Amino acid sequence: MTNTEKNLTQILHDLEKERSIGIRSKLSSLSPYEIARLLEAMEPRNREILWRMVDQEDEGEVLKELVEDIRQNFINEMDTNQIIAATQDLELDDLADILTDLPDQITDEVIRALDRQDQIRLESVISYGEDTAGGLTNPNILSIRRGLNIKGLIRYLRSLEKLPENTNYIYVINRSNEYIGSVKLVDLFTEDADTSIEEIMDSEIIPISASSSADQVIITFQNLDLISLPVVDKKNRLLGEITVDDVVDAIQDQANSEIFNMAGLDDEDDIFAPVLISSKRRAVWLGANLFTAFVVASAVSLFQSTIDQIVILAVLMPIVASMGGVAGNQTLILVIRGIAMGKIQRSNALRLLSKEMMVSLVNGFFWAIIVSFFAVLIFQTSWEIGIIVGASMLLNIFASAIAGVTIPFVLKRVGIDPALASGVMMTTLTDVLGFVTFLGLATLFLL
Amino acid sequence: MTNTEKNLTQILHDLEKERSIGIRSKLSSLSPYEIARLLEAMEPRNREILWRMVDQEDEGEVLKELVEDIRQNFINEMDTNQIIAATQDLELDDLADILTDLPDQITDEVIRALDRQDQIRLESVISYGEDTAGGLTNPNILSIRRGLNIKGLIRYLRSLEKLPENTNYIYVINRSNEYIGSVKLVDLFTEDADTSIEEIMDSEIIPISASSSADQVIITFQNLDLISLPVVDKKNRLLGEITVDDVVDAIQDQANSEIFNMAGLDDEDDIFAPVLISSKRRAVWLGANLFTAFVVASAVSLFQSTIDQIVILAVLMPIVASMGGVAGNQTLILVIRGIAMGKIQRSNALRLLSKEMMVSLVNGFFWAIIVSFFAVLIFQTSWEIGIIVGASMLLNIFASAIAGVTIPFVLKRVGIDPALASGVMMTTLTDVLGFVTFLGLATLFLL
């Protein structure tokens, strides 16, 4: 059993026995991330009780870590003062994330409760979207004007009561607040005290533009194994830095939303949301699939008289459709993930297409022979039907390879998330194609 | 177009025109991560040419970033001296990863080329698996004995030529090399020079055991928003630290392998591997699915005489099976991801099960009415058949919700990766159940 499992089991047990002292002491030993996961793992009734036991100083951090659905519910039940109290210790980028969930009026009040400098900083973060570099930016950094030497800088650092947590770089700016370079904190120990800041400053660190996408931020951090990265606005003015802990969250979110989207789910939904709400959310996806299922059924209905005459066709037709679906899905996942990772792009898509077509032919032929053989053996069909099953399966696998490469690119081109819609399109296509080629060939050659 | 896209397009173009000078200068401006992604995006022929143009000093880092399949191919073509030259500047944890791909004899030679201290360190990293905390550990850290004050420590730091890159903590150990605490580099600036190290040392940072799993490492870093974490062996002796950049890679790998496993693919495979090799790799998965497709067909074949008498059943039966599959897949993905994220565990699985059952009933009833209505409207079937389609679809959706929660837990219990096998099992189940209930009810009530 992992720690998370133990904690959940114990807290659920304590909640049942109403042992609130034990729960409070347990909660204070957990991180906001762990508390958020615990809350997400509970039904609304228990969740409400546990939430009221969270230390007020942890509330803001826990809110930040929760999925949007649950966060929204908690915030709706808090009044403005409670929200201000809960969020006052948050880093400004995290506060900005939470503010997007609040009504405008409360947002204004929360902002007014900040000091003047933080108000300006926060407004600059809010002006960028949540999924941009600007939205991930923490404005609470150390910046200095050029011209100091190491001794002077160290004296300045000593004069500060407290450095921002996890400071790795001090940023050098000019009078207009424009970014010039970054000084690594570590280098202050090894270089001579009289050396000027400009000499040890790293000017090769290229700040990222606040309007860049979160995906671009992730790629940049992975590219360069970064711990932090300065962020500038359009005029090269320093806004703050992105730290790697927020990038870790962004990567996790990116993967989660891709996996959930493939099944028409939203990773920000509460898994224990009320039944009617969850049902409604899932209904759209089921409805879309029902529509495609009717399209498939309509295709089959064209061949009713064929099936009426050779009923074994109805038995074998799911094999053709499902093998096309499975093979196509492999290509699809390869391409969707490849696009997300930057491995597959327009310039190499054609080469991949030709490779996938070859692979599908090799596997198509191989499995066509097997399937023909076993269709005859198990279902005692004629050799003609066996050959038609194999041939239509080969065709279907081949077509699904082409579709697997093509569909994600077409969807991306028209601005639809490939992870969301590719699967439905692929299934519909391989089903229709599988049934039509199989029943069509049978009609052509057997009747 | 993203930068990665531009780079790939340009290099492919330059390769065609044999402009090697342009390519070399482009390569030297890219990070090893970017070069690895470029190589992965190419066909073997171009890849070989580009690989020979990579700076020797980048080779080790690029090898580390590549998927295993391609790394293995490159290493097979290098002789021992080339491997030693390429890997000599690697961090020891990265070197350890590469060594696992090498024949024992070459591994020994690479190790012998290191200095004595690094040999000992490397061997301790290698003794832990690649997917453990020990395998992610970088032994190249700064550690000091207790008893120093800040002034003494700073003097010691100044005496070093170069601090390890991205040093954030200095670790305090005793004579037996046992971990005692961590000193944050930042605190050396703000605290008084005569303060003893023990006073400013953070003893709340709990080192992770080298034998912990990589998943545990990921959870710990996310829990505590860490930049680095000390690693100890069973006897609490300090082995080194895990830095967040390696955790970022581990998170990406975890998500990739989950997504790929769902389609029976391996995320460490080369997407441009030779056709026959790729075909063989995919064949296993197709074969498993073919087997299940025959199971489904056998189920249908039991009802041949029913279909023979009411041929419209063959038209409608794919609708029942596919709606069950879609609904079940939603529950499945929710549970698989929930288990991976620690949100779903045995202690709350029953509550989730009851919720998913309720959701499936709501959606099942709703869509059953719709599907009954449209079946009659579009395919002009009798009301009895319409009701049977709806009823069997409801049953199938309900059963798939139960299966969606149960299958991953059962697979996990018997030690099979739920992401790998759940999908096939779910499809087989919903297909068989959909066809059998639909055709069975029809046989019972209509014949």
Do B256 and B287 sit in the same domain of this protein? Answer: no
Query: Around Cβ A283, how many Cβ atoms within 10 Å?
Result: 16
CB contact under 8 A, B322 and A262: no
Task: Give the one of B9, B37, B352 whose C-beta lies nearest to A342's C-beta.
Answer: B37
CB contact under 8 A, B286 and A323: yes
* Model confidence pLDDT, tens digit, residues A130-141: 889 998 998 888
Q: What is the pLDDT confidence band of residue B148, given thresholds at 50, 70 and 90?
A: confident
Task: Give the one of B163, B355, B363 whose C-beta lies nearest to A283's C-beta.
Answer: B363
CB contact under 8 A, A311 and B304: yes
Tell me if chain A has a CB within 8 Å of the CB of B57. no
CB contact under 8 A, B341 and A315: no
Q: Which helix (H) or strand (E) holds A388?
A: helix A383-413
Token couple for B425 = 């099992």
Tell me if chain A has a CB within 8 Å of the CB of B29. no
Tell me if chain A has a CB within 8 Å of the CB of B163. yes
Q: What percent of chain B has pLDDT over 70?
A: 100
Contacts of A219 in chain B (CB under 8 A): 2, 4
Contacts of A359 in chain B (CB under 8 A): 275, 278-279, 282
Considering A211-215, B216-220, B439-443, the range whose residues carry the highest mean pLDDT is B439-443
Neighbouring-strand partners of residue B196: B149
Do A290 and A426 sit in the same domain of this protein? Answer: yes
Report, as an integer, the average pLDDT of A264-278: 93
Whether B166 has a pLDDT exceeding 80, the answer reads no
Residue A238 CA to residue A96 CA, distance in Å, equals 18
**Does residue A204 belong to any structural domain of this protein?**
yes
* Model confidence pLDDT, tens digit, residues A425-443: 999 999 999 999 999 999 9
Neighbouring-strand partners of residue A149: A196
For A47, the domain range is 3-125
Residue B393 CA to residue B92 CA, distance in Å, equals 57
Q: What is the pLDDT confidence band of residue A215, given thresholds at 50, 70 and 90?
A: confident
User: How near does any CA of chain B get to the CA of A253, in Å?
Assistant: 10
CATH code where residue B411 lies = 1.10.357.20
Residue after which a domain boundary falls, among A204, A230, A262:
A262
Q: What is the pLDDT confidence band of residue B260, given thresholds at 50, 70 and 90?
A: very high
Q: What percent of chain A has pLDDT over 70?
A: 100
Residue A17 CA to residue A207 CA, distance in Å, equals 54
* Model confidence pLDDT, tens digit, residues A294-304: 999 999 999 99
Do B289 and B421 sit in the same domain of this protein? Answer: yes
Q: What is the pLDDT confidence band of residue A312, given thresholds at 50, 70 and 90?
A: very high
* Model confidence pLDDT, tens digit, residues B271-327: 999 999 999 999 999 999 999 999 999 999 999 999 999 999 999 999 999 999 999
Cβ-contact A137, A198 below 8 angstroms: no
Whether A46 has a pLDDT exceeding 80, the answer reads yes
User: How near does any CA of chain A get to the CA of B118, in Å?
Assistant: 23
Which of A222, A400, A420, A435 to probe the B interface (max B CBs under 10 A)? Answer: A222
pTM: 0.89
* Model confidence pLDDT, tens digit, residues A380-425: 999 999 999 999 999 999 999 999 999 999 999 999 989 888 999 9
At residue A47, the pLDDT reads 94
* Model confidence pLDDT, tens digit, residues B90-145: 888 888 888 877 888 888 888 888 888 888 888 888 888 888 999 899 888 888 98
At residue B204, the pLDDT reads 82
CB contact under 8 A, B318 and A315: no
User: How near does any CA of chain B get to the CA of A258, in Å?
Assistant: 9
Token couple for A340 = 């997300």
Q: Residue A310 carries which DSSP code?
A: -
Whether A164 has a pLDDT exceeding 80, the answer reads no
**Does residue A217 belong to any structural domain of this protein?**
yes
Contacts of A79 (CB under 8 A, 6+ apart): none
Do B100 and B32 sit in the same domain of this protein? Answer: yes
Cβ-contact B153, B171 below 8 angstroms: no
How many distinct structural domains can be found in chain A? Answer: 3
At residue B147, the pLDDT reads 84
At residue A307, the pLDDT reads 95
Task: Give the one of B251, B362, B431 whose C-beta lies nearest to A248's C-beta.
Answer: B251
Do B296 and B359 sit in the same domain of this protein? Answer: yes
At residue B342, the pLDDT reads 81
Tell me if chain A has a CB within 8 Å of the CB of B294. yes
Distances (CA, A) of B420 to B257, B263, B264, B291: 9, 7, 6, 16
Token couple for B247 = 């955790």
* Model confidence pLDDT, tens digit, residues B371-415: 999 999 999 999 999 999 999 999 999 999 999 999 999 999 999
Residue A321 CA to residue B296 CA, distance in Å, equals 12
Nearest residue on chain A to B67, judged by CA atoms?
A: A343
Nearest residue on chain A to B346, judged by CA atoms?
A: A5
Token couple for A363 = 């596997």
Nearest partner of A246 among A65, A71, A372, judged by Cα: A65
Do A287 and A386 sit in the same domain of this protein? Answer: yes
Contacts of A276 in chain B (CB under 8 A): 362
Residues 1-20 of A with CB under 8 A from B: 2, 4-5, 8-9, 12
Do A107 and A168 sit in the same domain of this protein? Answer: no
User: How near does any CA of chain B get to the CA of A243, in Å?
Assistant: 9
Q: What is the pLDDT confidence band of residue A1, given thresholds at 50, 70 and 90?
A: low
Whether A103 has a pLDDT exceeding 90, the answer reads no
Residue A35 CA to residue A56 CA, distance in Å, equals 13
Tell me if chain B has a CB within 8 Å of the CB of A106. no
Task: Give the one of A5, A37, A343 whose C-beta lies nearest to B347's C-beta.
Answer: A5
Strand order through the sheet with A169-173: A143-145, A169-173, A179-184
* Model confidence pLDDT, tens digit, residues B192-219: 888 899 898 988 889 999 999 998 899 8
CB contact under 8 A, B227 and A245: yes
At residue B246, the pLDDT reads 87
Report, as an integer, the average pLDDT of B158-166: 77
CB contact under 8 A, A275 and B244: no
Tell me if chain B has a CB within 8 Å of the CB of A144. no
User: How near does any CA of chain A get to the CA of B190, in Å?
Assistant: 5
**Does residue A176 belong to any structural domain of this protein?**
yes
**Does residue B384 belong to any structural domain of this protein?**
yes
Cβ-contact B41, A345 below 8 angstroms: yes
At residue A178, the pLDDT reads 93
Contacts of B60 in chain A (CB under 8 A): none
Nearest partner of B297 among A140, A323, A144, judged by Cα: A323
Of B355 and A339, more confident: B355
Q: What is the DSSP string of B30-78?
A: S-HHHHHHHHHTS-HHHHHHHHHHS-HHHHHHHHHHS-HHHHHHHHHTS
Report, as an integer, the average pLDDT of A30-55: 92
Do B99 and B181 sit in the same domain of this protein? Answer: no
Residues 325-354 of A with CB under 8 A from B: 326-327, 329-330, 332-334, 337-338, 341-348, 351-352
Residue A96 CA to residue B76 CA, distance in Å, equals 51
Cβ-contact A337, B256 below 8 angstroms: yes
Task: Give the one of B267, B282, B317 whose C-beta lies nearest to A359's C-beta.
Answer: B282
Residues 211-240 of B with CB under 8 A from A: 216, 219, 221-227
Q: Phi/psi at A243 (nearest 5 deg)?
A: -105, 155
Do A342 and A421 sit in the same domain of this protein? Answer: yes
**Does residue B269 belong to any structural domain of this protein?**
no
Cβ-contact A71, A63 below 8 angstroms: yes
Q: What percent of chain B has pLDDT over 90?
A: 57
Q: What is the pLDDT confidence band of residue A35, given thresholds at 50, 70 and 90?
A: very high
Cβ-contact A434, A302 below 8 angstroms: no
Token couple for A387 = 């050959």
Nearest partner of B434 among B373, B392, B402, judged by Cα: B392
Neighbouring-strand partners of residue A231: A208, A240
At residue B335, the pLDDT reads 95
Tell me if chain B has a CB within 8 Å of the CB of A376. no
Considering A136-140, A210-214, B7-11, the range whose residues carry the highest mean pLDDT is A210-214
Residue B328 CA to residue B346 CA, distance in Å, equals 19
Residue A268 CA to residue A100 CA, distance in Å, equals 14
**Does residue A270 belong to any structural domain of this protein?**
no
Whether B163 has a pLDDT exceeding 70, the answer reads yes
Tell me if chain A has a CB within 8 Å of the CB of B358. yes
CATH code where residue A173 lies = 3.10.580.10
Residues across chain B:
447
At residue A270, the pLDDT reads 94
Distance of CA B177 to the CA centre of its chain: 34
Start-to-end CA span in chain B (Å): 62
- Model ipTM? 0.89
Residue after which a domain boundary falls, among A237, A262, A287:
A262
Q: What is the pLDDT confidence band of residue A38, given thresholds at 50, 70 and 90?
A: very high
Distances (CA, A) of A395 to A172, A271, A295, A365, B296: 63, 41, 20, 9, 21
Tell me if chain B has a CB within 8 Å of the CB of A311. yes
Do B258 and B281 sit in the same domain of this protein? Answer: no
Packing angle of the helix pair A312-341, B418-446 (nearest 10 deg)? 150
Neighbouring-strand partners of residue B209: B232
Q: Residue B149 carries which DSSP code?
A: B
Residue A344 CA to residue A116 CA, distance in Å, equals 47
Distances (CA, A) of B225 to A33, A242, A247, B136, B217: 9, 13, 11, 17, 12
Q: What is the DSSP string of B363-421?
A: HHHHHHHHHHHHHHHHH---HHHHHHHHHHHHHHHHHHHHHHHHHHHHHHHTT--HHHH
For B179, how many CA atoms within 13 A lie in the half-sphere containing its CB?
A: 29
Packing angle of the helix pair A214-224, A244-262 (nearest 10 deg)? 120
If 0-12 CB within 10 Å is exposed, 13-18 middle and 19+ buried, where does residue B104 land? Answer: exposed
**Does residue A60 belong to any structural domain of this protein?**
yes
Query: Around Cβ B287, how many Cβ atoms within 10 Å?
Result: 13
Q: Residue A136 carries which DSSP code?
A: G
Considering A103-107, B149-153, B290-294, the range whose residues carry the highest mean pLDDT is B290-294
CB contact under 8 A, A348 and B431: no
* Model confidence pLDDT, tens digit, residues B10-41: 898 898 888 888 899 999 989 999 999 999 99
Tell me the count of A-B CB pairs closer than 8 A. Answer: 363
Report, as an integer, the average pLDDT of B252-280: 92
Residues 110-139 of A with CB under 8 A from B: none
Residue after which a domain boundary falls, among A228, A262, A296:
A262
Whether A323 has a pLDDT exceeding 80, the answer reads yes
**Does residue B61 belong to any structural domain of this protein?**
yes
Do A105 and A251 sit in the same domain of this protein? Answer: no
Cβ-contact B35, B71 below 8 angstroms: no
At residue B1, the pLDDT reads 60
If 0-12 CB within 10 Å is exposed, 13-18 middle and 19+ buried, where does residue A371 land? Answer: buried
Do A364 and A437 sit in the same domain of this protein? Answer: yes
Rg over CA atoms, chain A: 29
CATH code where residue A18 lies = 1.25.60.10
Tell me if chain A has a CB within 8 Å of the CB of B251. yes
